[in-house]
Amino acid sequence: MTRKYNFSAGPAMLPQEVLEQAQAEMLDWNGSGMSVMEMSHRGKEYMSIAAEAEADLREIMAIPDNYKVLFLQGGASSQFAAIPLNLLRGKESADYINTGAWSKKAIAEAKRYCSVNVASSSENSGFSTILPFESWDTNPDAAYLHYTPNETIGGLEFPWIPETGDTPLVADMSSNILSRPLDVSKFGMIYAGAQKNIGPAGLTIVIIRDDLIGEAMDICPAMMNYDVQAKGGSMYNTPSTYSWYMAGLVFKWIKKKGGLEGIGEINQRKAEKLYTAIDNSDFYKNPVDKACRSWMNVPFTLANSDLDGQFLEQASERGLVTLKGHRSVGGMRASIYNAMPEAGIDALVQMMVDFEKENG
Ligand code: PMP
Protein backbone atom coordinates (compact mmCIF):
# COMPACT_ATOMS: atom_id res chain seq x y z
CA MET A 1 0.00 0.00 0.00
CA THR A 2 1.30 3.46 -0.87
CA ARG A 3 -0.41 6.52 0.55
CA LYS A 4 -0.11 9.64 -1.57
CA TYR A 5 0.46 13.16 -0.43
CA ASN A 6 -2.95 14.55 -1.22
CA PHE A 7 -3.03 18.35 -1.49
CA SER A 8 -6.80 18.50 -2.00
CA ALA A 9 -8.67 21.52 -0.64
CA GLY A 10 -11.30 19.18 0.80
CA PRO A 11 -12.22 16.50 1.44
CA ALA A 12 -8.60 16.34 2.44
CA MET A 13 -6.08 14.00 4.01
CA LEU A 14 -6.85 12.51 7.41
CA PRO A 15 -4.12 11.46 9.83
CA GLN A 16 -3.01 7.92 9.06
CA GLU A 17 -3.22 6.93 12.73
CA VAL A 18 -6.86 8.00 12.75
CA LEU A 19 -7.67 5.94 9.67
CA GLU A 20 -5.89 2.96 11.17
CA GLN A 21 -7.82 3.22 14.41
CA ALA A 22 -11.09 3.50 12.51
CA GLN A 23 -10.06 0.43 10.51
CA ALA A 24 -9.26 -1.53 13.67
CA GLU A 25 -12.63 -0.59 15.16
CA MET A 26 -14.60 -0.99 11.96
CA LEU A 27 -16.33 -4.30 12.71
CA ASP A 28 -16.48 -4.14 16.47
CA TRP A 29 -16.27 -0.87 18.36
CA ASN A 30 -14.98 -1.42 21.88
CA GLY A 31 -16.57 -4.85 22.35
CA SER A 32 -20.00 -3.63 21.29
CA GLY A 33 -20.10 -6.23 18.50
CA MET A 34 -21.01 -3.60 15.94
CA SER A 35 -19.55 -0.89 13.78
CA VAL A 36 -20.11 2.71 14.88
CA MET A 37 -21.98 3.06 11.58
CA GLU A 38 -24.53 0.52 12.74
CA MET A 39 -25.27 2.01 16.14
CA SER A 40 -28.42 3.79 17.17
CA HIS A 41 -27.55 7.42 17.72
CA ARG A 42 -29.60 7.28 20.92
CA GLY A 43 -27.92 4.18 22.31
CA LYS A 44 -25.58 4.26 25.29
CA GLU A 45 -22.48 3.46 23.25
CA TYR A 46 -22.99 6.08 20.59
CA MET A 47 -24.00 8.73 23.15
CA SER A 48 -20.66 8.16 24.88
CA ILE A 49 -18.77 8.56 21.58
CA ALA A 50 -20.64 11.78 20.81
CA ALA A 51 -20.15 13.24 24.28
CA GLU A 52 -16.44 12.43 24.32
CA ALA A 53 -15.90 14.09 20.94
CA GLU A 54 -17.57 17.25 22.19
CA ALA A 55 -15.59 17.21 25.44
CA ASP A 56 -12.32 16.80 23.52
CA LEU A 57 -13.16 19.62 21.13
CA ARG A 58 -14.05 21.87 24.07
CA GLU A 59 -10.73 21.01 25.68
CA ILE A 60 -8.60 21.55 22.54
CA MET A 61 -10.20 24.89 21.68
CA ALA A 62 -10.72 25.94 25.32
CA ILE A 63 -14.35 26.69 24.49
CA PRO A 64 -15.93 28.68 27.36
CA ASP A 65 -18.95 27.13 29.14
CA ASN A 66 -21.33 29.77 27.79
CA TYR A 67 -20.94 28.41 24.26
CA LYS A 68 -22.84 25.50 22.70
CA VAL A 69 -21.11 23.11 20.33
CA LEU A 70 -23.40 21.69 17.65
CA PHE A 71 -22.65 18.77 15.33
CA LEU A 72 -24.82 19.46 12.30
CA GLN A 73 -25.23 18.49 8.66
CA GLY A 74 -25.62 20.45 5.45
CA GLY A 75 -22.07 21.75 5.20
CA ALA A 76 -20.84 25.25 5.83
CA SER A 77 -23.04 26.29 2.89
CA SER A 78 -26.22 25.62 4.90
CA GLN A 79 -24.87 27.94 7.57
CA PHE A 80 -24.81 30.76 5.02
CA ALA A 81 -28.63 30.71 5.35
CA ALA A 82 -28.87 29.55 8.95
CA ILE A 83 -26.83 32.52 10.19
CA PRO A 84 -29.25 35.28 9.14
CA LEU A 85 -32.25 33.06 9.98
CA ASN A 86 -31.00 32.70 13.56
CA LEU A 87 -28.92 35.74 14.27
CA LEU A 88 -30.85 38.71 12.85
CA ARG A 89 -32.95 38.72 16.05
CA GLY A 90 -35.35 41.37 14.80
CA LYS A 91 -32.67 43.48 13.11
CA GLU A 92 -32.73 44.24 9.41
CA SER A 93 -29.10 44.39 8.46
CA ALA A 94 -25.83 42.51 8.86
CA ASP A 95 -22.22 43.43 8.08
CA TYR A 96 -20.18 41.19 5.79
CA ILE A 97 -16.52 41.34 4.81
CA ASN A 98 -15.71 40.28 1.27
CA THR A 99 -12.29 38.65 1.02
CA GLY A 100 -12.99 36.16 -1.74
CA ALA A 101 -15.12 33.43 -3.24
CA TRP A 102 -16.50 32.00 0.01
CA SER A 103 -17.30 35.43 1.45
CA LYS A 104 -19.26 36.12 -1.72
CA LYS A 105 -21.29 32.95 -1.38
CA ALA A 106 -22.14 33.82 2.21
CA ILE A 107 -23.14 37.34 1.14
CA ALA A 108 -25.33 36.12 -1.73
CA GLU A 109 -27.23 33.77 0.57
CA ALA A 110 -27.64 36.35 3.36
CA LYS A 111 -29.16 38.81 0.87
CA ARG A 112 -32.20 36.54 0.67
CA TYR A 113 -32.99 37.31 4.31
CA CYS A 114 -31.62 40.73 5.15
CA SER A 115 -29.96 43.86 3.97
CA VAL A 116 -26.24 43.17 3.63
CA ASN A 117 -23.71 45.91 4.28
CA VAL A 118 -20.38 44.94 2.75
CA ALA A 119 -18.25 46.81 5.26
CA SER A 120 -14.98 46.02 3.48
CA SER A 121 -14.06 44.36 0.22
CA SER A 122 -10.71 43.18 -1.07
CA GLU A 123 -12.04 42.82 -4.59
CA ASN A 124 -10.12 45.82 -5.96
CA SER A 125 -6.82 44.15 -5.07
CA GLY A 126 -7.89 40.91 -6.72
CA PHE A 127 -8.34 39.52 -3.18
CA SER A 128 -4.63 39.73 -2.52
CA THR A 129 -4.81 41.66 0.74
CA ILE A 130 -7.06 42.42 3.71
CA LEU A 131 -7.89 46.05 4.37
CA PRO A 132 -7.19 47.39 7.88
CA PHE A 133 -10.04 47.29 10.36
CA GLU A 134 -9.92 51.10 10.72
CA SER A 135 -11.04 51.42 7.10
CA TRP A 136 -14.12 49.20 7.49
CA ASP A 137 -17.49 50.88 7.06
CA THR A 138 -19.40 48.98 9.74
CA ASN A 139 -22.99 49.64 10.72
CA PRO A 140 -23.52 50.08 14.48
CA ASP A 141 -27.01 48.52 14.11
CA ALA A 142 -25.77 45.40 12.34
CA ALA A 143 -27.10 42.16 13.84
CA TYR A 144 -23.65 40.61 13.43
CA LEU A 145 -20.47 40.88 11.38
CA HIS A 146 -19.59 37.89 9.20
CA TYR A 147 -16.15 37.19 7.79
CA THR A 148 -14.10 34.37 6.34
CA PRO A 149 -10.85 34.11 8.32
CA ASN A 150 -9.34 31.88 5.65
CA GLU A 151 -10.33 32.01 1.99
CA THR A 152 -9.70 28.50 0.72
CA ILE A 153 -9.51 29.39 -2.96
CA GLY A 154 -7.52 32.62 -2.84
CA GLY A 155 -5.26 31.53 0.04
CA LEU A 156 -5.93 34.75 1.96
CA GLU A 157 -5.95 34.46 5.75
CA PHE A 158 -6.60 37.03 8.47
CA PRO A 159 -3.55 37.39 10.74
CA TRP A 160 -5.78 39.25 13.25
CA ILE A 161 -9.27 39.02 14.71
CA PRO A 162 -11.63 41.95 14.12
CA GLU A 163 -12.64 43.71 17.35
CA THR A 164 -16.32 44.35 16.70
CA GLY A 165 -17.35 45.41 20.21
CA ASP A 166 -21.03 44.68 20.87
CA THR A 167 -21.64 43.37 17.35
CA PRO A 168 -21.34 39.57 17.43
CA LEU A 169 -18.49 38.32 15.27
CA VAL A 170 -19.36 35.33 13.06
CA ALA A 171 -16.55 33.39 11.38
CA ASP A 172 -16.55 30.78 8.62
CA MET A 173 -13.53 28.76 9.74
CA SER A 174 -14.13 25.87 7.35
CA SER A 175 -10.55 25.83 6.16
CA ASN A 176 -8.58 27.01 9.19
CA ILE A 177 -10.36 25.74 12.29
CA LEU A 178 -8.00 23.82 14.60
CA SER A 179 -4.95 25.05 12.70
CA ARG A 180 -3.53 27.18 15.54
CA PRO A 181 -4.57 28.49 18.97
CA LEU A 182 -7.66 30.69 18.99
CA ASP A 183 -9.46 32.85 21.56
CA VAL A 184 -13.03 31.58 21.13
CA SER A 185 -14.40 34.22 23.49
CA LYS A 186 -13.85 36.88 20.82
CA PHE A 187 -16.53 35.28 18.64
CA GLY A 188 -20.30 35.13 18.71
CA MET A 189 -20.22 32.12 16.45
CA ILE A 190 -17.67 29.96 14.65
CA TYR A 191 -18.64 27.37 12.07
CA ALA A 192 -16.85 24.93 9.78
CA GLY A 193 -17.53 22.12 7.39
CA ALA A 194 -15.59 19.11 8.66
CA GLN A 195 -13.87 17.88 5.54
CA LYS A 196 -10.57 19.76 5.92
CA ASN A 197 -9.29 19.83 9.49
CA ILE A 198 -11.99 17.94 11.38
CA GLY A 199 -12.94 14.70 9.69
CA PRO A 200 -15.04 13.30 6.86
CA ALA A 201 -17.56 15.41 4.94
CA GLY A 202 -21.14 15.35 6.15
CA LEU A 203 -20.51 17.03 9.48
CA THR A 204 -20.60 20.74 10.23
CA ILE A 205 -19.46 22.16 13.54
CA VAL A 206 -21.13 25.25 15.01
CA ILE A 207 -19.78 26.89 18.15
CA ILE A 208 -22.17 29.57 19.34
CA ARG A 209 -22.53 31.82 22.37
CA ASP A 210 -25.64 31.08 24.44
CA ASP A 211 -27.13 34.56 24.30
CA LEU A 212 -27.36 34.42 20.50
CA ILE A 213 -29.57 31.35 20.58
CA GLY A 214 -33.37 31.39 20.77
CA GLU A 215 -34.53 34.19 18.52
CA ALA A 216 -34.65 32.46 15.15
CA MET A 217 -37.10 33.75 12.55
CA ASP A 218 -40.41 31.86 12.29
CA ILE A 219 -39.52 30.68 8.81
CA CYS A 220 -36.26 29.11 10.02
CA PRO A 221 -36.40 25.36 9.35
CA ALA A 222 -36.20 23.30 12.54
CA MET A 223 -33.07 21.58 11.23
CA MET A 224 -31.32 24.94 10.98
CA ASN A 225 -32.61 26.33 14.26
CA TYR A 226 -29.74 26.53 16.76
CA ASP A 227 -32.15 26.48 19.71
CA VAL A 228 -33.79 23.28 18.48
CA GLN A 229 -30.43 21.67 17.78
CA ALA A 230 -28.87 22.81 21.06
CA LYS A 231 -31.83 21.53 23.11
CA GLY A 232 -31.77 18.24 21.23
CA GLY A 233 -28.03 17.67 21.65
CA SER A 234 -27.61 17.99 17.84
CA MET A 235 -29.96 15.01 17.52
CA TYR A 236 -33.17 16.60 16.34
CA ASN A 237 -32.88 14.00 13.62
CA THR A 238 -30.27 11.32 12.93
CA PRO A 239 -26.90 13.08 12.93
CA SER A 240 -23.96 12.19 10.74
CA THR A 241 -22.93 9.55 13.26
CA TYR A 242 -19.83 8.13 11.63
CA SER A 243 -18.34 11.52 10.74
CA TRP A 244 -18.93 12.66 14.31
CA TYR A 245 -17.08 9.59 15.59
CA MET A 246 -14.20 10.17 13.15
CA ALA A 247 -14.01 13.81 14.23
CA GLY A 248 -13.62 12.53 17.79
CA LEU A 249 -10.64 10.44 16.72
CA VAL A 250 -9.09 13.48 15.03
CA PHE A 251 -9.58 15.55 18.20
CA LYS A 252 -7.68 12.90 20.20
CA TRP A 253 -4.92 12.95 17.56
CA ILE A 254 -4.64 16.74 17.95
CA LYS A 255 -4.31 16.33 21.72
CA LYS A 256 -1.45 13.89 21.14
CA LYS A 257 0.26 16.43 18.86
CA GLY A 258 0.39 18.95 21.69
CA GLY A 259 -3.01 20.53 21.10
CA LEU A 260 -3.40 23.65 19.00
CA GLU A 261 -0.08 25.05 20.24
CA GLY A 262 1.75 22.02 18.92
CA ILE A 263 -0.26 21.84 15.70
CA GLY A 264 0.16 25.58 15.15
CA GLU A 265 3.94 25.37 15.34
CA ILE A 266 4.02 22.55 12.81
CA ASN A 267 1.62 24.38 10.50
CA GLN A 268 3.64 27.58 10.61
CA ARG A 269 6.82 25.69 9.76
CA LYS A 270 5.14 23.82 6.90
CA ALA A 271 3.71 27.01 5.40
CA GLU A 272 6.98 28.93 5.74
CA LYS A 273 8.89 26.18 3.95
CA LEU A 274 6.55 26.30 1.00
CA TYR A 275 6.32 30.10 0.75
CA THR A 276 10.11 30.36 1.05
CA ALA A 277 10.50 27.97 -1.86
CA ILE A 278 8.09 30.08 -3.90
CA ASP A 279 9.67 33.41 -2.96
CA ASN A 280 13.22 32.18 -3.56
CA SER A 281 12.43 31.42 -7.17
CA ASP A 282 11.57 33.55 -10.18
CA PHE A 283 9.65 30.62 -11.60
CA TYR A 284 6.89 30.32 -8.99
CA LYS A 285 4.67 33.09 -7.71
CA ASN A 286 2.09 33.58 -4.99
CA PRO A 287 0.07 36.80 -5.38
CA VAL A 288 -0.99 37.29 -1.76
CA ASP A 289 0.31 40.05 0.51
CA LYS A 290 2.88 38.34 2.74
CA ALA A 291 1.11 39.40 5.94
CA CYS A 292 -2.13 37.70 4.85
CA ARG A 293 -0.87 34.45 3.38
CA SER A 294 -2.79 31.37 4.37
CA TRP A 295 -1.11 28.63 6.39
CA MET A 296 -3.59 26.15 4.96
CA ASN A 297 -4.06 26.89 1.25
CA VAL A 298 -1.10 27.96 -0.85
CA PRO A 299 -1.95 28.93 -4.43
CA PHE A 300 0.94 29.46 -6.80
CA THR A 301 1.48 29.92 -10.52
CA LEU A 302 4.32 28.86 -12.82
CA ALA A 303 6.11 31.46 -14.94
CA ASN A 304 4.71 29.73 -18.00
CA SER A 305 1.19 28.34 -17.64
CA ASP A 306 1.76 26.09 -20.67
CA LEU A 307 3.83 23.96 -18.30
CA ASP A 308 0.96 23.45 -15.83
CA GLY A 309 -0.02 20.06 -17.24
CA GLN A 310 3.55 18.81 -17.19
CA PHE A 311 4.02 20.02 -13.62
CA LEU A 312 0.92 18.18 -12.45
CA GLU A 313 1.98 15.02 -14.25
CA GLN A 314 5.47 15.00 -12.77
CA ALA A 315 4.11 15.76 -9.32
CA SER A 316 1.70 12.87 -9.64
CA GLU A 317 4.53 10.53 -10.59
CA ARG A 318 6.08 11.37 -7.21
CA GLY A 319 2.84 10.69 -5.38
CA LEU A 320 1.95 14.39 -5.00
CA VAL A 321 -1.66 14.70 -6.09
CA THR A 322 -4.58 17.15 -6.36
CA LEU A 323 -2.37 20.18 -6.86
CA LYS A 324 -4.40 21.74 -9.66
CA GLY A 325 -5.58 25.22 -8.71
CA HIS A 326 -9.25 26.10 -8.43
CA ARG A 327 -10.85 26.54 -11.84
CA SER A 328 -11.51 30.22 -11.09
CA VAL A 329 -7.82 31.08 -10.55
CA GLY A 330 -5.85 28.41 -12.43
CA GLY A 331 -2.24 27.51 -11.61
CA MET A 332 -1.61 25.29 -8.61
CA ARG A 333 -2.90 25.15 -5.08
CA ALA A 334 -1.36 23.12 -2.30
CA SER A 335 -3.76 22.66 0.60
CA ILE A 336 -1.66 21.73 3.58
CA TYR A 337 -4.08 21.06 6.41
CA ASN A 338 -3.17 19.55 9.77
CA ALA A 339 -2.97 15.99 8.45
CA MET A 340 -0.49 16.80 5.66
CA PRO A 341 2.82 15.49 7.03
CA GLU A 342 5.84 17.77 6.93
CA ALA A 343 7.48 15.17 4.69
CA GLY A 344 4.77 15.95 2.13
CA ILE A 345 5.88 19.60 2.06
CA ASP A 346 9.52 18.55 1.71
CA ALA A 347 8.63 16.28 -1.20
CA LEU A 348 6.68 19.06 -2.90
CA VAL A 349 9.47 21.62 -2.45
CA GLN A 350 12.02 19.16 -3.86
CA MET A 351 9.79 18.49 -6.83
CA MET A 352 9.36 22.23 -7.45
CA VAL A 353 13.13 22.78 -7.33
CA ASP A 354 13.75 19.90 -9.75
CA PHE A 355 11.02 21.04 -12.11
CA GLU A 356 12.38 24.59 -12.18
CA LYS A 357 15.88 23.28 -12.96
CA GLU A 358 14.55 21.41 -15.95
CA ASN A 359 12.14 24.04 -17.20
CA GLY A 360 13.05 27.39 -15.66
N1 PMP B 1 -16.51 28.11 3.35
C2 PMP B 1 -15.23 27.85 3.07
C3 PMP B 1 -14.17 28.79 3.54
C4 PMP B 1 -14.91 26.69 2.35
O5 PMP B 1 -13.64 26.42 2.05
C6 PMP B 1 -15.93 25.82 1.94
C7 PMP B 1 -15.66 24.53 1.19
N8 PMP B 1 -14.54 24.47 0.43
C9 PMP B 1 -17.25 26.16 2.24
C10 PMP B 1 -17.51 27.30 2.96
C11 PMP B 1 -18.38 25.28 1.82
O12 PMP B 1 -18.39 24.17 2.62
P13 PMP B 1 -19.38 22.96 2.42
O14 PMP B 1 -18.94 22.24 1.21
O15 PMP B 1 -19.18 22.19 3.70
O16 PMP B 1 -20.75 23.53 2.30
User: Does residue 172 have an active-site annotation?
Assistant: yes
Model pLDDT, residue 128: 97
Our answer on whether the CB atom of 152 is closer than 6 Å to any ligand 1 atom is yes
Among residues 73, 30, 40, 31, the alpha carbon closest in space to that of 243 is found at 73
CA of 82 to the centre of ligand 1 (A): 14
Same topology, domains 17-256 and 259-359? Answer is no
pLDDT tens-place string over residues 184-212:
999 999 999 999 999 999 999 999 999 99
- The domain segmentation of the chain, as residue ranges, is 17-256, 259-359
Whether ligand 1 lies within 6 angstroms of the CB of 96 is answered as no
Q: Whose CA is nearest to atom 2 of ligand 1?
A: 174
What's the pLDDT score for residue 186? Answer: 98
Distance, CA of 83 to CA of 311 (rounded, Å): 41
For the entire predicted model, the pTM comes to 0.98
Instruction: Give percent of the chain with pLDDT exceeding 90.
Output: 98
CATH superfamily of 259-359: Aspartate Aminotransferase, domain 1 (3.90.1150.10)
Q: Is pLDDT of 1 > 90? A: no
Percent of the chain clearing pLDDT 70 (strictly above): 100
**Polymer length in residues for the chain:** 360
Q: Evaluate whether 6 touches 334 at the Cβ level (below 8 Å).
A: no
Q: Would the CB of 175 count as within 6 Å of ligand 1?
A: yes
Mean of pLDDT values over 90-115 = 98
Alpha-carbon distance values, 181 to 61, 101, 118, 121 (Å): 7, 25, 28, 26
Q: Is 10 in the pocket of ligand 1 (CB under 6 A)?
A: yes
174 lines ligand 1 (CB under 6 A): yes
CATH class of domain segment(s) 17-256: alpha beta
Rounded to 10°, the helix 44-61/259-279 angle is 60
Average pLDDT of the chain, as a whole number:
98
Predicted local confidence at residue 183, as pLDDT: 98
Q: Is the pLDDT of residue 327 over 90?
A: no
CA of 194 relative to ligand 1 center, distance in Å: 9
Asked about 102 being catalytic, the answer comes back as: yes
Closest CA to 251 of 16, 35, 52: 52
pLDDT > 90? residue 328 = no
- Choosing from 196, 244, 253, 295, the catalytic residue is 196
